[in-house]
Amino acid sequence: MPNTMHPLTRLLLPALAAVLFLLAVAPQAQAAGDDANLSLCKQVLSRLLCKKMNEFGYVGKAGDGVYIISMFYASKNSEYLCAVMPDGQVVVQDRTWHATRRVIPYTPDSDGKCLNATFSSPECPNSRPIKACPAKSSTDVKEQVKETFWVRPIPQILEEEYRAMSPQQNATAPAAPGK
């Protein structure tokens, strides 16, 4: 029996099935948030394709935890679907070529803010662990400064305080020349 399906329909059906699958199993947003999930997706794609992070663009969200990421690959624009699953897996599928589908495990850190993955690709020499964290807020930065202030050696802290004082407050400072 001859195949009567239109060639375009044969290409779109697997893509539609993949999108529906990813939407059906997409998790609610995790504690890490969209920033960390998107960063994890871009870092995994960067490692998978051995490309720089700035070569990927965020297109949009296909659902909770499912992102559409684009890049210029093989002489045309390509799109990838990336789903961050609650069971500790990142599912990446090439939306343009349908040739690539990878599942990479990840683990949240003890705070539940950062996501860590260990993944290497034979094409890419970079094999460091992947760590994706949400952007720090101004209060997080202030707390980190407070925590790290007293970790420094006491002589260094005293030297900084000494230099920060004005010449009138500092009785041991040398007199200004010309007086």
Question: Structural domain boundaries of the chain?
Answer: 7-134
Distance of alpha carbon 81 from alpha carbon 120, whole angstroms: 19
Q: What is the pLDDT of residues 57-111, one digit of tens each?
A: 888 888 888 999 998 877 788 889 999 998 999 999 987 766 778 899 999 988 7
Distance of alpha carbon 114 from alpha carbon 26, whole angstroms: 19
> Residue 176 is inside which H or E element, if any?
none
Alpha-carbon distances of 179 from 79, 163, 172, 176, rounded to whole Å: 71, 21, 16, 7
Distance of alpha carbon 41 from alpha carbon 83, whole angstroms: 8
Average pLDDT, the chain: 75
The pLDDT value recorded for residue 23 is 39
